[in-house]
Amino acid sequence: MKKALICGISGQDGAYLAKMLIEKGYQVFGTARDAQMSNFPNLATVGVKDKVTYSSMALSDFRSVIQTLVKVQPDEIYNLAGQSSVGLSFDQPVETLESISVGVLNLLEALRFTGIKARLYNAGSSECFGNTDGVPATETTLFQPRSPYAVAKSAAFWEVANYREAYNLYACTGILFNHESPLRPERFVTRKIVSAAARIAGGSNEKLLLGNISIARDWGWAPEYVDAMWRILQQETPEDYLVATGETHTLEEFVAEAFNCVGLDWHDHVVADPSLLRPSEIMISRANPEKTLQKLGWKAHYKMKDVVRMMSDRN
């Protein structure tokens, strides 16, 4: 039985990944800063809370990382931990940089130091590309980060690439574009939109406050994306992969579809709020996931409208 260690198992991706790996016959271990005090509601939602072995680990604490790796002796490590909100990173840049870039560095250094032959998956982000002027990004597109979150993810990406080359570690980054599900917390705009539409359809008189709805993103379905993570670690040679649907839509289109799912016209319920605008913003995010299709045999089956509908159905 293979052993998988999921760092940041309490989040959206961690829950879906744990469920998939358990179904594949893995023994799954999950970490949190204080595992004894965590309720892991997402794992309970997907039905695997009692099937995971938990450990307390702080990625920013090198000793804590080494102790966990030596104890678990994992075959595969999935690093999904760290501050995950782009918007929040403008308010907490130091925490964001430390939790992401220092955390990844500690994992890599712990693997090098202990000699444990685990394969490492690192969660990258399309935010690293910044504005590509509408040109679809690939694995070789230059990074132009426009937020503290993107800066941290960019640093982590190059840490992984450096340790892979310098120390012959099996370490990869999956550069994931936006991927959503009902497990997203409401600080993420997609969940905020779907939840507000449902409440308004149920009789609420509230207005949905949004920032710039002309931004465009590539939105996919999170339960599909964790399969790509697993496939990345099953390859003979460690490489980085871009994971996306290949379709880009504006936030306005997302909003319109969410309200359409509950039989409402979004124009009657949405108000622009300048206070929600970010200091710097990526206007258009496009992706070319051709390498992932050709080498991993993975493609997204669910696109933006499917994602909105499934989030609305399970809201």
CB atoms within 10 A of CB 184: 21
Which residue is catalytic, options 125, 147, 285, 312?
Answer: 125
Round to whole Å and give the CA distance between 124 and 173: 6
Whether residue 149 lies in the annotated active site: yes
The pLDDT assigned to 314 comes to: 78
CB atoms within 10 A of CB 70: 11
The pLDDT assigned to 242 comes to: 98
State the span(s) of the chain assigned CATH 3.40.50.720. 3-179+221-243
Round to whole Å and give the CA distance between 194 and 224: 20
Angle made by CA atoms 244, 187, 313, in degrees to the nearest 5: 65
Three-state secondary structure call for residue 71: helix
The pair phi, psi for residue 13, each rounded to 5°, is -65, -40
The pLDDT assigned to 137 comes to: 97
The pLDDT assigned to 85 comes to: 84
**204 contacts 93 by C-beta, under 8 angstroms:** no
Give 162: exposed, middle or buried? Use CB within 10 Å, 0-12, 13-18, 19+.
Answer: middle
Gyration radius of the chain over CA positions: 19
Chain centroid, CA 305 distance in Å: 19
Which residue is catalytic, options 127, 159, 180, 224?
Answer: 127
CATH superfamily of 3-179+221-243: NAD(P)-binding Rossmann-like Domain (3.40.50.720)
State the span(s) of the chain assigned CATH 3.90.25.10. 183-217+247-285+301-313
The pLDDT assigned to 315 comes to: 66
Pairing of strands 270-272, 208-210: parallel
The pLDDT assigned to 299 comes to: 97
Strands of the chain, DSSP E: 3-7, 27-32, 53-56, 76-79, 119-123, 171-176, 179-180, 208-210, 216-217, 220-221, 241-243, 249-250, 270-272
CATH number for 183-217+247-285+301-313: choose from 3.90.25.10, 3.40.50.10490, 3.30.930.10, 2.40.440.10: 3.90.25.10
Which residue is catalytic, options 26, 54, 121, 149?
Answer: 149
Q: What is the pLDDT along the chain (315 residues), one digit of tens a residue?
A: 999 999 999 999 999 999 999 999 999 999 988 887 788 999 999 999 999 999 999 999 999 999 999 999 999 999 999 888 888 889 999 999 999 999 999 999 999 999 999 999 999 999 999 988 889 999 999 999 999 999 999 999 999 999 999 999 999 999 999 999 999 988 899 999 999 999 999 999 999 999 999 999 999 999 999 999 999 999 999 999 999 999 999 999 999 999 999 999 999 999 999 998 888 888 999 999 999 999 999 999 999 999 999 999 976
